[in-house]
Structure 1
Amino acid sequence: MSEHKNKIDQQPVQDLRSAIALLESIDGEFVSTDVAVDPHAELSGVYRYVGAGGTCQRPTRKGPAMMFNTIKGFPGVRVVTGLMSTRQRVGYLLNCAPEKLGFLLKESVSKAIAPVVVGKEDAVCQEVVHFATDPDFDLRTLLPAPTNTEEDAGPYFTMGMCYASDPETKQSDITIHRLCIQSRDELSMWLTPGRHIDAFREKAERLGQALPISISIGVDPAIEIAACFEPPTTPLGFNELSIAGALRGKPVELVNCVSINERAIAHAEIVIEGELLPNVRVREDQNTNTGKAMPEFPGYTGEAKAALPVIKVKAVTYRKHPILQTTLGPSGEHVSMAGIPTEASILDMIERAMPGRVLNVHAHTSGGGKLLAVLQFRKASPVDEGRQRQAALLAFAAFSELKHVILVDEDVDIFDTDDILWAMQTRYQGDVDTIFIPGVRCHPLDPSQVPEYSPSILQQGTSCKTIFDCTVPFHLKASFERSKFKDVDVRKFLPDFK
């Protein structure tokens, strides 16, 4: 990270465009094309090869972020993807060593800076305004929302920062949900159970009210990372925009919407304003009848939902020559956005319970940043034996959607899969080092969580959570010391070695 530190200091990131400018200044982190691309499946098909990574079907790879400058049927709008598809790139964007990102986010929660509201004159997101009452208004021709595959339920906005407020307390929340275009002025919205905006929606629905909601697309990556925090780290009423404020050392700027009583991110590229309608539901694939929704983080295409809440769009505003930001569902970008806040939550809970024992946490790519965590645990004395498993239990409590925990010692690099698997091959015996916790609610997108898969699963969405203890028993540590190589200055032999 140090080789780019001066560049980062000279180019502070405050919105999407400054984030892109930063990445353009770093070799190998950003590419663009002027070749016309179809947003229907082709755009995602291209980026799958260029840099999607994550749980995408192979061949894929970790690669640069990519800008598509020419979108078929949408002159004047560009599309960018993959800004956070690698941990290294998130490190550049947040000015932090990649292995320390979990600690950075953990500290930011405790140093929260509340957002502020600015006037319309300072809100570049409202340079151009389209009201849905205009007879020519049509989301389908206004914005190039991509489809990830040819069997998606429809075009999706996958990087929309959804912002809404409790209809009674007025406390606000921001989060990311899949949003499918259903008509000229309607979006379906899938809210996984437990999300705060869903709690707001349910309360408004009980009151017979629509819930105003803004969807800001193309923002400072610090906001996108912060929006992925979940309880218990950020309980109901905690505005995650304040974490983004802490990451940048200044408050996120909001602006009053033009058509609804809600606020949006002032420096967003695009804002969709609307209302979640009470007691209105729509079948997600009503326009395609594919039975499929879109590719999700585990690497599979999710099923289309039969009855989803509907957002009635009231207006769309955007910057001149806007950039629509999108992500591939199973890409490494999801790992960064979901996984790093997960790491922060686990670090926070375990550090409070047993200070100094968990040295680091990695929400692994193979679990999409949600299903698998690797914990680096230090046993300092005989009484620490067994506490590593207690740390794993705390990790499950810190993040309810976590399915598997792998425990390793302090000499294992948790960001190197080969090293993790080496520990499993040489410091793990399945019959004594595997701990099963069956019948626990997990993430609904794991396709193995169905009764047909295992007789232990009584209801879809529950799982057998598992701890793989790949740590050496404390009394045997002397027999498991790694081979020690001589420390040398490699640059004496290879001056350009990094």
Structure 2
Amino acid sequence: MKTYKDQDYLLARESISDLRTAIDFLSKYEGQLLETDVEVDPVGELSGVYRHVGAAGTTMRPTKEGPMMLFNNVKGFTKSPVAIGVLASRARTALLLGHKPENLGRAMMNAVNNPIKPVVVDQAACQEVVHLASDPDFDIRKIIPAPTNTVEDAGPYVTLGLVYAEDPETGESDVTIHRQCFQARDEVSIFFSPGRHIDVFRQKAEAAGKPLPITVNIGLDPAVYVSACFEPPVTPIGFNELEIAGAFRNKAVELVQAKTVDTKAIAHAEIVIEGEIMPDYRVVEDQNSNTGKAMPEFPGYTGGANPSLPVIKVKSVTTRTNPITQTCIGCSEEHVSLAGICTEASILSMTERAMPGRVKNVYAHSSGGGKLMAVMQFEKQSPKDEGRQRQAALVAFGAFPELKNVIIVGEDVDLFDSNDVLWALNTRHQADVDTIVIPGASTHVLDPSQMPDMSPSIKGRGISCKTIYDCTVPFELKDTRFQRSQFMEVDYERFLPKNK
């Protein structure tokens, strides 16, 4: 995994405050930004290009990790570039967040423990241009070049739309990312996974027969996007994850009063959709395509179109001048960066409380999209620690309920190197005694294997079998036959070409 010098990470922490400063920062590093003026069709082609250039993650092969891309010439749009893959590499994400790749989970955990509340400002860059839905020529599909990721998709999707809303009863605010599909000139469907806090707000408003005012914020500081992906129990309802982003940058996130709805927008966003989630109004997600498909999701499959989704009635779109639409492919490494770092921080936070100093690090593995699989590095410091590694895995399941599989390795295994993890699985694991299964547990609804045809233990959507793979060495054998071959420590760099 590529790392940079300490001064590079420090510079990022000091200079990045929004998407534009992030892109400018990346432009100074070889291999991190690919900019093109070649015309690209947002329907299928844009994501098809990035699939080959840098999507990685659980995307269908051939794919690879590569630079982010900035498409400056999007068919049907003028001066409306699209950025994709900003976070589609752990090394690039680390550079943008200002911490080494292996330290991201702990850095985010520290931010959770030292929150800084957002502040409200009077004027904001996100409101330089205002498009009112009351204008007869208004059509959100002609303002925002949201890609249609595959030709089967239900339509153009906002994949990195950070929704901001306030609890209609308590006034507490929250932010979460949800998939949103353009359905009409001023209508956008929104999908909520079970338990999301914005959906709790929506349900309260709907029960009172009222719409829920929201803003959808697109094109943001990477720290804002990553921080927004925390989930309970680390961030309970009423905890606004923008406080974590503030701590991460050591500067409060700035908000501004929306122009046409009674809520706030993120001041440095490139684009803000202002609207209301209407009570008792639903649409079929693929009403315009009739493909039965939604969009590519993090497990690597295209999700099925939902037959009944809530609708955002758009009141306006505000933007910066020549706004940059930020998007991602749902099954790319970008989802791993967004969801995975928070998964790691959540597990580290809970296990450190339960057994201080034993869990050395956690990696939310790419193959699980940052959600379904974690590799935990556990150090047994005495005979009394035998068995605690499995207890740590149980704590991890509690810290992040959507987790499905945990692989536990020792402190001498590089948890970020899949070959090293599989080496531990092959040489330190016996399936009959080191595999622990927990059937009938709640995980993530988008895992396509959750069906009774796969297992009789599955009683409904979102139910799965959680598994622990204990690849640690029994404490009494650590220093005998399971010690890795020890090589001489040498100054190897003097044997390498000088230009390397």
TM-score with structure 1 setting the length: 0.98
Supply the AA of the counterpart residue of 1:77: S
* 2:360 counterpart residue number: 359
TM-superposed CA distance for 1:460, in Å, is 2.3
Q: For 1:248-263, list aligned pairs within 5 A.
A: 248-263=249-264
Supply the AA of the counterpart residue of 1:482: R
Q: For 1:26-425, list aligned pairs within 5 A.
A: 26-120=29-123, 123-425=124-426
TM-superposed CA distance for 1:492, in Å, is 1.5
Q: Distance in 2 between matches of 1:6 and 1:468?
A: 37
- Deviation >6 Å, runs of 4+: none
Q: Distance in 1 between matches of 2:8 and 2:30?
A: 14
Count of residues in Structure 1 that have an aligned counterpart in Structure 2: 496
1:151-202 Cα offsets, whole Å, 9 max, x none, are 0001000011100000011100001000000000000000000110000000
TM-superposed CA distance for 1:496, in Å, is 4.3
Distance 1:7 1:224, change over 3 A: closer
Is contact 2:8–2:98 with CA below 8 Å preserved after alignment?
no
SS in 2 for 1:51: helix
Is contact 1:115–1:252 with CA below 8 Å preserved after alignment?
yes
Q: Distance in 2 between matches of 1:55 and 1:5?
A: 32
SS in 1 for 2:277: strand
Q: Distance in 2 between matches of 1:446 and 1:186?
A: 28
Distance 1:74 1:8, change over 3 A: farther
* 1:481 counterpart residue number: 483
Q: Distance in 2 between matches of 1:7 and 1:239?
A: 26
Is contact 1:491–1:497 with CA below 8 Å preserved after alignment?
no
SS in 2 for 1:479: coil
Query: Does 2:7 match 1:5?
Result: yes
Is contact 1:217–1:325 with CA below 8 Å preserved after alignment?
yes
TM-superposed CA distance for 1:3, in Å, is 2.7
Is contact 1:490–1:497 with CA below 8 Å preserved after alignment?
no
Q: Distance in 2 between matches of 1:156 and 1:260?
A: 22
* Residue segments in structure 1 that go unaligned for 5+ positions in a row: none
Supply the AA of the counterpart residue of 1:159: L
SS in 2 for 1:66: strand
1:28-55 Cα offsets, whole Å, 9 max, x none, are 1111110000000100000000000000
TM-superposed CA distance for 1:94, in Å, is 1.0
1:234-256 Cα offsets, whole Å, 9 max, x none, are 00000000000001001000000
360-369 or 467-476: which moved more?
Answer: 467-476
Q: Distance in 1 between matches of 2:77 and 2:96?
A: 29
Q: Percent identity?
A: 62
TM-superposed CA distance for 1:475, in Å, is 1.7
Distance 1:7 1:26, change over 3 A: farther
TM-superposed CA distance for 1:458, in Å, is 1.6
SS in 1 for 2:384: helix
1:423-465 Cα offsets, whole Å, 9 max, x none, are 0000000100000100011100000001111112121220000
Is contact 1:55–1:331 with CA below 8 Å preserved after alignment?
yes
9-18 or 67-76: which moved more?
Answer: 9-18
Supply the AA of the counterpart residue of 1:63: G
Q: Distance in 2 between matches of 1:497 and 1:421?
A: 33
TM-superposed CA distance for 1:377, in Å, is 0.3
Q: Distance in 1 between matches of 2:447 and 2:205?
A: 30
Is contact 2:8–2:95 with CA below 8 Å preserved after alignment?
no
TM-superposed CA distance for 1:493, in Å, is 1.4
* 1:25 counterpart residue number: 28
Supply the AA of the counterpart residue of 1:54: G
1:375-401 Cα offsets, whole Å, 9 max, x none, are 000001111110000000000000000
* 1:464 counterpart residue number: 465
Is contact 1:155–1:180 with CA below 8 Å preserved after alignment?
yes
* 1:437 counterpart residue number: 438
Q: Distance in 1 between matches of 2:470 and 2:285?
A: 41
Q: Distance in 2 between matches of 1:105 and 1:327?
A: 22
Supply the AA of the counterpart residue of 1:20: I
* 2:495 counterpart residue number: 493
TM-superposed CA distance for 1:497, in Å, is 7.8
Is contact 1:5–1:95 with CA below 8 Å preserved after alignment?
no
Q: Distance in 1 between matches of 2:31 and 2:450?
A: 39
Q: Distance in 2 between matches of 1:72 and 1:483?
A: 57
* 2:448 counterpart residue number: 447
TM-score with structure 2 setting the length: 0.98
Supply the AA of the counterpart residue of 2:420: D
Is contact 1:427–1:471 with CA below 8 Å preserved after alignment?
yes
Q: Distance in 1 between matches of 2:410 and 2:426?
A: 13
* 1:16 counterpart residue number: 19
Supply the AA of the counterpart residue of 2:460: Q
Q: Distance in 1 between matches of 2:382 and 2:223?
A: 39
